[in-house]
């Protein structure tokens, strides 16, 4: 998902390792000097 000016984005990632094992992380990115940089992240869930 991007902002209207395409300078910021977020990416949802998921990792599943079994019935009671996994996590989801949302990464926040920003375009700086022509490259995407991670500016933050939040754990959506972790088991």
Specify whether the CB–CB gap between 12 and 24 falls below 8 A. Answer: yes
Q: What is the pLDDT of residues 1-47, one digit of tens each?
A: 899 999 999 999 999 998 889 999 999 999 999 999 999 999 987 77
Strand intervals (E) in the chain: 8-18, 21-32, 35-46
pLDDT of residue 19: 85
Q: Using alpha carbons only, what angle is made at residue 25 by residues 18 and 12, rounded to the nearest 5 degrees?
A: 100
Helix %, strand %, coil % of the chain (to 5): 0, 75, 25
pTM above 0.85, yes or no: no
């Amino acid at each position: 998902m991007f902002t209207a000016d395409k300078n910021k984005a977020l990416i949802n990632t998921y990792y599943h390792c079994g019935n009671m094992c996994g996590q989801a992380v949302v990464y926040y990115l920003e375009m700086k000097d022509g490259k995407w940089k991670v500016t933050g992240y939040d754990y959506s869930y972790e088991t």
